Structure 1
Amino acid sequence: MNASTPLHADPDRVVFDRRELGAIMSVYGQFVAAGEWRDYAMSFLREVAVFSVFRRATEHPLYRIEKRPRLRASQGAYAVIGMDGRILKRGHDLPQVLKVLERKLIRAVD
């Protein structure tokens, strides 16, 4: 794939679309403003797209937001996974799944 080819043109990769990235970046921005998160990384693989958030770039991710289209019909394509590998929330609606993080933001700001 050359630099001018968009990622969504590669049928072998799972990607976040514009709407999904907007929802994720909205939550990410709230945590950055609160001083909780400072960096992120994205991976687009064959079966999963991953948005990882970090307190510092040199650490393991605090949370991973995953999109797995193969699970769409059963458990839901979206999941938020904690640093220890536990699935904190899974579902079909990304904004609803991301609410598990917003509850943590409220506790962090208190």
Structure 2
Amino acid sequence: MSFEPPIPFPRAGQAKPAPQVAFHRTELGPILSLYGRMVAAGEWRDYGISCLREVAVFSVFRRTAEHPLYRIEKRPKLRGRQGLYALIGADGQVLKRGHDLAGILQVLERKLIRAVK
């Protein structure tokens, strides 16, 4: 059995830990709205949210034990260049990238529209 000493709280003047990137409530609202509609349509069943140092990821799964069907990523470092948000498919291909979250989600909304017989 190994013993690890407790981690002390940072003192004044010490470097603070790097902040995590996370989705804001105004960003999660449209994402979860789309998720709810896709669950009601039977397309999606589970989701996961990861908040890391450089990226926040909302992953969508068809089944719990699978790889994600889609990932919605938020990368603040790309805000000035390619866009803050990205939609990535199951194979890792970037489907859409941009500055507007609604434009990214519109790609997934098209999959919700079906022809009625």
Decide: shared fold, TM above 0.5.
yes
Query: Which residue number corresponds to residue 21 of structure 1?
Result: 28
Query: Which residue number corresponds to residue 106 of structure 2?
Result: 99
Q: Displacement, 1:11?
A: 5.3
Query: Which residue number corresponds to residue 69 of structure 1?
Result: 76
Per chain length, whose mean CA-contact separation is higher, i.e. which structure has more relative contact order (CA < 8 Å, sep 6+)? 1
The runs of at least 4 aligned residues of structure 1 exceeding 4 Å deviation read: none
Q: Mark the structure with the bigger radius of gyration.
A: 2
Matches within 5 A, 1:50-89: 50-89=57-96
SS at match of 2:38: helix
Q: Displacement, 1:62?
A: 0.3
Which protein is richer in helix relative to its size?
A: 1
Root-mean-square deviation over aligned CA pairs: 1.2
Matches within 5 A, 1:36-51: 36-51=43-58
User: 1:25 corresponds to which letter in structure 2?
Assistant: L
Number of residue pairs matched?
A: 99
SS at match of 1:103: helix
TM-score normalised over the length of structure 1: 0.86
Q: Displacement, 1:105?
A: 1.7
User: 1:39 corresponds to which letter in structure 2?
Assistant: D
Q: Displacement, 1:12?
A: 1.6
TM-score normalised over the length of structure 2: 0.81
User: 1:87 corresponds to which letter in structure 2?
Assistant: V
Q: Percentage identity across aligned positions?
A: 69
Q: Displacement, 1:104?
A: 1.6
Q: d(CA) in 2 for partners of 1:42 and 1:97?
A: 17
- Which ranges in structure 1 are unaligned for 5 or more consecutive residues? 1-9
